[in-house]
Structure 1
Amino acid sequence: MRPPATEKMGYYPTHENIVEVIKTYITLAENKARLLDPCCGEGTAAFMLGNALNCETWGTELSYKRAELAEKVLDKSFNCPWESVWITQESVSLLFLNPPYDTDAIESKGRLEYQFLKSATPTLARGGLLVYIVPQNLFGNYDVAKRLVTHYQDFKVGLYTNSAYKQAILFATKRDFVHVPEDGEIDKMQSLEFAQLEDLVPVEKPLYTLLPAPKRGKSGQPITFSRKDWSAEEKAEATLKCGVLQTTAWKDLLNPDRANVTSSIQPVMPLKKGHIAMLIASGLIGSIRIQGEDGNPLIIKGRVVKVQDESTTQDSEGREVTKYKDRFVTTVTVVSKTGIQVIEDVEGLTQFMRDYGDKVAQYILDHYHPLYNMNPTESETAILNTLGKLAKPLPGQAEPGLLPTQKHASIAMARSIKASGVGNIQGEMGIGKTKVAAGTMSLLNSFPAIILCPPHLVEKWIREIEETIPGAKGFELRKIGQNSGDSTDVNDVRKFLDQAEAGLLGDKPVAVVATTSAKMSSGWRPSVVMRKAKTSNSKHRRMSCCCPVCGSPVVDGEGYIITDPEELSSKRAFCQSMVPGWELDEEGHLKKDSEGNTIWGERICGTALFTFDQTRRFSIAEYIAKQCKGRFKILVADEFHQMKGKSSDRGIAFHQLATACNATLTLTGTFFGGKSTSIFWLLHRLNHDVRRDFAFNDETRWAKLYGVLEVTRVSKKNEDDDDGIYSGNRRYRNTAKEQPGISPAIINRLLGNTVFLSLKDLGIEMPEYKEEVAVMDMEEVHKEQYHELESALKDLAKDNGRYLSNWLQWSLARPNSAFRDEKVVLDEYDAEGVKTNRSIEFFDLPAVISEDGTLSKEQWLANFCLAERKLNRKVLVYVRQTGTRDIQDHVQAMLEKAGLRVTVLHGNIDPRKREAWIAKRTPATDVLVCNPKLVETGLDLISYSTVIFAEIEYSLYTLWQAVRRVWRLGQTKPVKAIFSVYEGTMEARALQLMGKKMKAAQLLYGDEVGGAIVPEESGDFLVELARDVLAGAKLTDLQTMFADDVKVSHNALGSMTLPSEVMTVALETWEQWISQRGGHIEPRKHTRSKPVPEGQSSLF
């Protein structure tokens, strides 16, 4: 090697223009591939190929300076000789080899190009791709030619363009088996030394397909890429760079506030006061300097830290129970000329925002410019002005069309999608999210579009899209598969795309798919043969589940033979018995010995122990992700909160569609669920920054940073087995559970692409909305029976926690079902606590009224509904017992007896037809009775103006959504929501607890409570209720629980504190924006509180 080359260690990097040419010969890997560059230099070539071809990148480099640069761009690299690394054989998909051009002067005396080819070839998987860049004359080397012919095939060779060293680039795929060269094959390869090769130029169609990264190496070995010859100094240096000090867990522990750190904040729209307060309190925006009332400067700095409260108790078995619960402590410090003020309570921060909110908002607008600052362009305004002209005008609208707020939100979402590919609309029910989505699609001209929504909203989406967007045509995607009785398959996706391309759906085609259709594929059932076999836990032969192919008994995870096929119905299983045959590795490939021969021995049977049912069906979401990627320009996901599950079918279907579309727009009124992890997977599927900072399984780490964890440590006290006999170690059992509560810093994960809207933002005067609580006394016989039942079940639950649910459910249900005879039947448990097949008749409950009588709440309900009818107001009555303990028919009969026209909406009505079903019957209906879960999303029930909860719904989200079916845009009458309960009962306690939780939530969420609540697990609420009752907790009386001096917005249950206004400056308010265009908004009238009738107390 010449001196200049020796100085560079034989380093001749691959030029970037050559890498660009090489990329055109290789098809992009659908699944992550793996690239190895044994002489990676600065890592530029490997980095470019890895990015372009979806590859994990590995490399080694001898030069320290070049290795430092390579470490920054490659996924994994080592500064060491190639011979000093250990790498699993057959573990990489692409071997990129541009070795030093020299002779090995120390050991073999042969060419280094050959030594690298020989040692690196075993690392390449069979079928993997080799890119070999060497001087052309090297092909004349017999060893090189023989190695290439023996191990590779499908050759393509071209000259390295404009190379001073006459280099050649060879492409080849690795053979499945070692090949013995035939006559002339080696000579043909050697002839390339003098061949007149053409320059390598880009090709339009790739010649080689890249394999996905192997999950296991040769013979099933785990994938390893590590260094073998670390010195002590190198180990210490590598530990500082890549050891535990660099892990996210260590950084989170060392700096708990690092979740608050942000490089820049750019909200989509001007912030509301509530968001500004959260940003200040979390410390996300650093120190703020404004002028006080006296003209002197004020410096404001917020901070949120997590502390841990500890409490120790002793349970009934004498065990010591210690609980460690996280708690966020938020402080806002205000430094002025007169001193320092530390704000630590909600009231103080609220007052501070009243006094200085405008100035703080001005500061934030000056330093953190929103992506959209209420400044629409002429083209944006022109497009939005054409939308919604076919709809009926809302009350107060001169002509139909989008409201100014809806237009602003549409523009903000369009700009967010252009910037990041994602937009989120978090809005109260009734603000017109469908209109905003239509405006966004029109601004982006993102057609064809696909909308994912609950099944009962499909027809509504099609109707509103065609009504809002001129020239739009909706098309429902129902199925891919075979309909019953048909001989041919149906493919609605292909049909839609074909019709769209043919112009049959106009120039704005929109596909609408229900979440059920998107996720659903062919069902399956266990498929085994039943034979007699000797089970592990029995001396006798019993009928057991056996493999239909090899006949071996099927065993569970613990090795026990399965005797009931139903045990296989929860998860698709495969036979794991060993059978004679050619041995396979974990990839399913045939194992080979050192000479390339297959190995006869044993292998896993692998027979599927299930079969698909008769329905031929393929998941629409999966089909679009695999076959139609990029064909849909935007995905609009309605009721997005329903896709929050980590591995739910709906969540997976959403993810598949989102990855297949160019952009994603989500709509929900319910982002937050009280716990930080309720939005983790939603954001992980949407937000690149979240995916960068957190792995998909990092929910616990997310909760540590943004949520509240409660760790319970249980130990035994004063007993011999409390300590290890030999070690003396004290033994504990720790459990961790996330509790409701979030850090204000979490808001930074949303502001960049989320618009928050409420009804008041629309500038439309809504009718008055008020809530009341009607508390009734039970008749004496009714009261005695209830308290006797409740007391007996409560004592039983105290003695045996297995009966807790029986106590709760009967105590909540019986007050409203006492019109009939019932029996309390309990499961029986043996002395060891194992459930038996017998039941116990625990309590006999005769009806407390005669056949023609009514309960006191029922009589009140009938009288109230009659009074409402006289005022020409229709009533919506919600009941909870609609399943096996259905009381709807009784309620209907009782109300009809009073002379009312009653309709009952049962659960067997097709969700898609509920809206039309209700609309058809509403003119002849005074009272509609149903379970609130049947109408919690998507339905407009504005023909009804009074809502009565005859039974309390225990999901805050469902309760609030059910009320909002009535109080929404288009409602012309004042709306009343009445919560009726019996005095001194469990349902009264439940309502007290609900109010308490709602009020606590509002302190964090401002006016966004409606969007802050997602469905709670009913068990969680009932367990909390049981804990409070058993502990004798004193819950605030219903009449006084909201009597503190807090101003209430017009949507009281949904917003218990001051509404959070949009903070804008200059001429940027909604009113000014509308007035500039000739509109006018009447000022909101403040209603006076009305006297509460006797026997009926106000919730507020």
Structure 2
Amino acid sequence: MANDIMTRRPSAIHTEMTIFDFFLLIAVCPDCGTVLTDAEGTWMAADRFLAGADEKRQACPHCGTRLWTLKRPGAARDTQATVKEALCQLPTIGPKTADKLITGFGADALGGMLADNPFDFINLMDDEGELVFGDRQAQRMERSLATREFAFGQGGYQATEFVKRYLPQGFFDLLVVDEGHEYKNDGSAQGQAMGVLAAKCRKAVLLTGTLMGGYADDLFFLLWRALTRRMIEDGFKANRRGSLAPAALAFMREHGVLKDIYKETDAGSHKTAKGNKVAVHTKKAPGFGPKGIARYVLPYTAFLKLRDISGTVLPPYDERLLEVPMAHEQSDRYQTLRIRLTLEMKAALAKGDKTLLGVVLNVLLAWPDCAFRDEMVKHPRSGDLLAFAPAVFGELEPAPKELELIRLCREQKAQGRKVLVYSIYTGTRDTTQRIKNLLQGEGFKSAVLRSSVDTSKREDWILEQVDRGIDVLICNPELVKTGLDLLDFPCIVFLQSGYNVYTVQQASRRSWRIGQKQPVEVFYLGYAETAQIDCLRLMAKKIAVSQSTSGDMPDTGLDVLNQDGDSLEVELAKRLIA
């Protein structure tokens, strides 16, 4: 924590003592009254204590009370401005409405309601006893406040850092971590913050709908933060430099699947013999061993599947994979592009150059969905043109997959059901606006959710679009994968899946939640005989491993692709090269 943020402010009290008619102010602990002493055991004068308070954080030697606290540098913010800023974060409240509320009820009263009891704020009444907010306005604010918390104290510092430095281990009884899989990464700030809080709590409960993403190391850092003692007992601990990377690799090797790849090349002739050069590198593969499940998962985990309560609470759920044939010209262009890029990639790999791997994979996955634009593939280093594919479809000419989407939307609209469409291409190869234009041309009201909409306002933004009567919502699945209940969209269509198992599993369940009354249908669309089907096949295998960790045999729409018992070592790149 930066020193300009964390300024020590001594909280010891002063006691006056008379010694030979002189008054001496000494520093004592404010909790137990113990007189503070220096290294030599001499009573510490108050001015001396204060002089050294900014250099060292001190604690009472008797009871352990921290003799410092946080003090935000600079002048404190105006209360009215702070409350106004908080009010403007709520849906339907702008600066003018916020000023009107502050004038009528006072900043302190509104701040107290927002911090302590938001429902008092939602049910706010004027002098005549009338509710200030209408039903629809109150409903939107209530949904927003369900995922938002206001505090009007001193800010500007990381709360977990203060907890780490100020409070003793086991200070709290229970830590509840929602969406626990979001804290699995090694170097993420939120993961480290979760570890700090877990150390300060006697018990920790992690809630997640996706325990792992198919690889054993998905669980390592979660286990390290939640079950530190058990991991250390098993020998998984930081090295002398404080790094957990060797421990993570050892965990992966013991409980996961690692592939050691040996490459032998002719190193030429020596004076008396010929020599070969052997290179070895290690890659991880999907899989988690039964020993790891029995040791780290089963003793500490309670599994509750949505289908366990679906009999009376949740409607039916169905997933389907639809393989869409490409148009004739589109297929010819794709095969030409695939052959050309595969040859280039093979030649580069033969020289030990892997820079083309990601480029080729991305192009072969994306081009069938982006055949409405010219595709120029250049070498990432030299900039040389590797391949060129001209556009096949016009601006308002739908491709086969888009025709299939229009057909699905037409069927759903006839049943009075709204459709949520996922597309991962929202950057350079933006397909969302094109899909919106095509759907509008067919008479569908549609909207595109962009990343520019603040995370805390996305649910309210979607509710506003529903109020406007949209038939189709288009977005990247990353934007809605957690924290949103999209009950208004019982039909979900994946135009692409991407590689992230967490995203696919979370995004596919956005509308199959408690409160849903209609049957939920999820469709995965992929062009037949392309890299897209290979990608979906690999995703199916990773999902199978992920679900088997919780004792679940997957029966999803993607699982029809997972018929190979030895599928753990299948990789998308090898399939493309083959």
Pairwise TM-score range, normalised by the shorter structure: 0.5 to 0.7
Q: Determine whether 1:770 maps to 2:310.
A: no
Q: Is the 8 A contact 2:420 2:474 kept in 1?
A: yes
Q: Which residue of 2 aligns with 1:780?
A: 328
State the one-letter code of the partner of 1:816: D
1:750 to 272, 275, 297: 297
Greater relative contact order (CA < 8 Å, ≥ 6 in sequence): 2
Closer, same or farther: CA 763–963 of 1 in aligned 2, 3 Å: closer
- Distance in 1 (alpha carbons) for counterparts of 2:262 and 2:456: 49
Closer, same or farther: CA 631–903 of 1 in aligned 2, 3 Å: same
Q: Which residue of 2 aligns with 1:806?
A: 359
Closer, same or farther: CA 709–926 of 1 in aligned 2, 3 Å: same
Bigger proportion of residues as helix: 2
Deviations 1:861-882 (A, max 9, x none): 2232122101101111111111
Q: Which residue of 2 aligns with 1:491?
A: 154
| Cα displacement (A) at 1:207 | 6.5
1:508-519 correspondence runs (5 A):
none
Q: Is the 8 A contact 2:183 2:222 kept in 1?
A: yes
Aligned residues: 421
Q: Which residue of 1 aligns with 2:160?
A: 621
- Distance in 1 (alpha carbons) for counterparts of 2:364 and 2:490: 31
Q: Which residue of 2 aligns with 1:707?
A: 256
Q: Determine whether 1:797 maps to 2:480.
A: no
Q: Which residue of 1 aligns with 2:510?
A: 965
Closer, same or farther: CA 702–805 of 1 in aligned 2, 3 Å: closer
Q: Is the 8 A contact 2:288 2:545 kept in 1?
A: no
| Cα displacement (A) at 1:706 | 2.1
State the one-letter code of the partner of 1:491: Q
1:274-313 correspondence runs (5 A):
none
- Distance in 2 (alpha carbons) for counterparts of 1:790 and 1:1022: 23
Deviations 1:480-532 (A, max 9, x none): xxxxxxxxxx624xxxxxxxxxxxxxxxxxxxxxxxxxxxxxxxxxxxxxxxx
2:448 to 879, 895, 904: 904
| Cα displacement (A) at 1:794 | 1.4
Partner-residue secondary structure (3-state), 1:679: helix
| Cα displacement (A) at 1:912 | 0.6
Q: Determine whether 1:869 maps to 2:427.
A: no
Q: Give unmatched runs, 5+ long, in structure 2.
A: 1-36, 44-58, 65-140, 239-243, 350-354, 556-567
State the one-letter code of the partner of 2:221: W
| Cα displacement (A) at 1:858 | 1.7
1:759 to 306, 329, 334: 306
Partner-residue secondary structure (3-state), 1:903: strand
Partner-residue secondary structure (3-state), 1:775: strand
Partner-residue secondary structure (3-state), 1:665: strand
Partner-residue secondary structure (3-state), 1:742: coil
TM-score of the superposed pair, with normalisation by structure 2: 0.65
Partner-residue secondary structure (3-state), 1:967: coil
1:609-648 correspondence runs (5 A):
617-629=156-168, 632-648=172-188
Partner-residue secondary structure (3-state), 2:443: coil
Q: Determine whether 1:913 maps to 2:457.
A: yes
Between 920-929 and 653-662, report the one with greater CA deviation.
653-662
State the one-letter code of the partner of 2:213: G
Q: Is the 8 A contact 1:877 1:927 kept in 2?
A: yes
1:1026 to 569, 573, 578: 573
| Cα displacement (A) at 1:940 | 0.4
Q: Determine whether 1:676 maps to 2:220.
A: no
Closer, same or farther: CA 647–859 of 1 in aligned 2, 3 Å: closer
Closer, same or farther: CA 789–1003 of 1 in aligned 2, 3 Å: same
Closer, same or farther: CA 477–846 of 1 in aligned 2, 3 Å: farther
Q: Give unmatched runs, 5+ long, in structure 1.
A: 1-126, 130-152, 157-203, 210-457, 465-473, 479-489, 493-616, 830-838, 1011-1020, 1032-1100
Closer, same or farther: CA 709–461 of 1 in aligned 2, 3 Å: farther
- Distance in 2 (alpha carbons) for counterparts of 1:741 and 1:656: 29
1:206 to 51, 61, 76: 61
Q: Is the 8 A contact 1:675 1:740 kept in 2?
A: yes
Partner-residue secondary structure (3-state), 1:884: coil
- Distance in 2 (alpha carbons) for counterparts of 1:704 and 1:643: 22
Closer, same or farther: CA 646–842 of 1 in aligned 2, 3 Å: closer
Q: Is the 8 A contact 1:808 1:1022 kept in 2?
A: no
Q: Is the 8 A contact 2:267 2:277 kept in 1?
A: no
- Distance in 1 (alpha carbons) for counterparts of 2:301 and 2:547: 20
Partner-residue secondary structure (3-state), 2:337: helix
1:383-394 correspondence runs (5 A):
none
- Distance in 1 (alpha carbons) for counterparts of 2:221 and 2:548: 25
Q: Is the 8 A contact 1:715 1:722 kept in 2?
A: no
Q: Determine whether 1:975 maps to 2:520.
A: yes
| Cα displacement (A) at 1:937 | 0.8
Q: Is the 8 A contact 1:935 1:962 kept in 2?
A: yes
Q: Is the 8 A contact 2:446 2:474 kept in 1?
A: yes
Closer, same or farther: CA 863–705 of 1 in aligned 2, 3 Å: closer
Bigger proportion of residues as strand: 1
Q: Which residue of 2 aligns with 1:885?
A: 429
- Distance in 2 (alpha carbons) for counterparts of 1:793 and 1:764: 50
- Distance in 2 (alpha carbons) for counterparts of 1:700 and 1:864: 45
Q: Determine whether 1:929 maps to 2:478.
A: no
Closer, same or farther: CA 714–460 of 1 in aligned 2, 3 Å: farther
Closer, same or farther: CA 704–818 of 1 in aligned 2, 3 Å: closer
- Distance in 1 (alpha carbons) for counterparts of 2:145 and 2:343: 55
Query: Aligned-residue CA RMSD in angstroms?
Result: 3.5
| Cα displacement (A) at 1:962 | 1.0
TM-score of the superposed pair, with normalisation by structure 1: 0.35
1:39-438 correspondence runs (5 A):
153-154=40-41, 206=61
- Distance in 2 (alpha carbons) for counterparts of 1:870 and 1:820: 32
Closer, same or farther: CA 815–737 of 1 in aligned 2, 3 Å: closer
Q: Determine whether 1:840 maps to 2:378.
A: no
1:821 to 370, 374, 383: 374
